[in-house]
């Protein structure tokens, strides 16, 4: 049997390319706290992503928690059940009440109409997710936010380098949060960032991620330790040099799956969004009623061949014990998300995946 195939695998550049960065760190003896590689990565990422300002973090979850602190969000926040659990956990860590709204059946992102229906006098913010890097209906969400006076914080953990037209999708809303976890398209082992529109907001976020220190003797907020260290930042700088090849290989794999699976009865694939540069971070398929196997049977069949596809996102966040008691968490309130969670499988996609591996996965699904 061939080697196991996981849903994703981190991209690692040639080891010798990392050596000069390490030598630099050893020479500087500056290991963390806004070191030179940290500052350089903030600048280079802002330029690469086409955004004004960003603040690096030790991971995406601390960045989400801090984004909510920065905007002083209170009360209820409308969010999606169809995401990684950290989205809603960041609300509980701020003593906020998550209110789950259903998703759109074609994009799997929050349905703007369902957001509007979930608003109460306690609502202060919306936390949507660009699921699989596919942009939310940001215009409709902003209109609702403006009408009701709400903040919008995007969990953009999947949306690295994604655009809507020429514009970065990370410019939508008040803040956007990225994750650079090892499983993501761009990684710094662990890491993340908050994208913000102006220097004043970035300054405040920089205080918050460093215990609230504004200078040696002044603490302006009950901040957290969310700082990215120099080794992480150096790795990010090196990886940024390889992004073009990483994205190109991902696109080739996406195209290969797309072409081969488009005609398979009972398998639904999502069309690529119009007018959007994608990052090909995930390849979800839906196993529908007219496929010969159930979703879980297909998932098991792949596992038996050492192919570890994942059911992102199953279970829904709203099904976990700390959420399921909420009125908005009932499956009756979330019919679309509940159905998609029972049908989805994300197929392996990462730069080192070979065409022969892709073809094996296709053969098992289509054959
Ligand atoms: C990965 C991920 C996170 C968490 O990011 P970490 O860097 O692992 O803390 C949050 N939300 C979504 C949607 C994610 O996929």
Q: Answer left, alpha or beta for residue 235, where phi above 0 means left and psi between -120 and 50 means alpha.
A: alpha
Spell out the residues 6+ positions from residue 203 whose beta carbon is closer than 8 angstroms to its own.
none
Which of 131, 153, 157, 132 minimizes the C-alpha distance to 142?
153
Domains and CATH numbers, the chain: 15-101+109-240 (3.40.640.10), 243-366 (3.90.1150.10)
Average pLDDT estimate for 79-88: 98
The 8-class DSSP code of residue 22 comes to H
Where does the chain have alpha helices with state H?
A: 19-28, 36-49, 60-70, 86-92, 112-118, 138-148, 199-208, 230-240, 243-261, 295-304, 335-343, 355-366
What is the maximum span of the chain, computed from C-alpha positions, in angstroms? 67
The answer on pLDDT for 1 being more than 60 is: no
Residue of the nearest CA to atom 10 in ligand 1?
86
What pLDDT score does 208 carry? 98
* Mean pLDDT over the full length of the chain: 97
The answer on pLDDT for 244 being more than 80 is: yes
Instruction: Please tell me whether the peptide bond between 166 and the residue prior to it is cis, using omega within 30 degrees of 0.
Output: no
The number of C-alpha atoms within 13 Å of 90 and in the hemisphere containing its C-beta is 29
pLDDT one-digit tens code per residue, 40-78: 999 999 999 999 999 999 999 999 999 999 999 999 999
What distance in angstroms lies between residue 259's CA and the mean position of ligand 1's atoms?
Answer: 30
The answer on pLDDT for 3 being more than 90 is: no
d(CA 298, CA 344): 11
The three-state secondary structure class of 58 is coil
Residue of the nearest CA to atom 5 in ligand 1?
60
Contact 191, 179 (CB under 8 A): yes
Which of 1, 24, 79, 138 minimizes the C-alpha distance to 326?
79
Q: What is the pLDDT confidence band of residue 291, given thresholds at 50, 70 and 90?
A: very high
pLDDT one-digit tens code per residue, 302-346: 999 999 999 999 999 999 999 999 999 999 999 999 999 999 999
List all residues whose CB is within 6 A of at least one atom of ligand 1: 59-61, 83-84, 86-87, 129, 155, 157-158, 179, 181, 192
What pLDDT score does 367 carry? 83
> Of the residues 87, 183, 190, which should be mutated to test ligand 1's pocket, given the most ligand atoms within 8 Å of the CB?
87
């Amino acid at each position: 049997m061939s080697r196991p195939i996981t849903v994703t695998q981190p991209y690692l550049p040639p080891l010798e390319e990392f050596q000069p960065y390490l030598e630099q760190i050893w020479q500087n003896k500056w290991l963390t706290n806004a070191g030179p590689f940290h500052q350089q990565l903030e600048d280079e990422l802002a330029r690469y992503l086409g955004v004004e300002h960003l603040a690096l973090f030790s991971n995406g979850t601390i960045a989400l928690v801090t984004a909510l602190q920065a905007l002083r969000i209170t009360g209820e926040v409308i969010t999606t059940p169809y995401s990684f659990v950290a989205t809603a956990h960041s609300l509980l860590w701020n003593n906020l009440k998550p209110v789950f709204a259903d998703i759109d059946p074609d994009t799997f992102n929050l349905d703007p109409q369902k957001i509007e229906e979930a608003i109460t006098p306690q609502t202060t913010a919306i936390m949507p997710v660009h699921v699989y890097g596919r942009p939310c209906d940001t215009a409709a969400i902003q209109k609702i936010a403006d009408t009701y006076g709400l903040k919008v914080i995007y969990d953009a953990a999947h949306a690295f380098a994604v655009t809507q037209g020429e514009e970065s999708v990370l410019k939508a809303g008040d803040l956007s949060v990225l994750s650079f976890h090892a499983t993501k398209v761009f990684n710094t082992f662990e890491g993340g960032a908050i994208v913000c529109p102006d220097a004043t907001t970035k300054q405040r976020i920089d205080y918050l991620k460093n215990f609230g220190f504004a200078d040696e003797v002044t603490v302006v907020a009950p901040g957290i330790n969310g700082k990215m260290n120099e080794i992480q930042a150096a790795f990010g700088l090196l990886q940024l040099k390889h992004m073009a090849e990483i994205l190109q290989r991902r696109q080739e794999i996406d195209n290969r799956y797309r072409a081969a699976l488009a005609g398979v009865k009972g398998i639904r694939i999502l069309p690529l969004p119009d007018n959007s540069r994608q990052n090909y971070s995930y390849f979800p398929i839906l196993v529908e009623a007219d496929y010969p196997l159930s979703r879980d049977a297909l998932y098991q069949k792949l596992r038996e061949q050492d192919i570890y596809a994942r059911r992102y996102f199953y279970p829904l966040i709203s099904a976990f014990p700390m959420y399921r008691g909420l009125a908005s968490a009932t499956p009756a309130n979330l019919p679309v998300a509940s159905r998609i969670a029972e049908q989805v499988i994300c197929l392996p996609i990462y730069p080192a995946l070979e065409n022969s591996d892709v073809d094996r996965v296709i053969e098992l699904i289509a054959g």
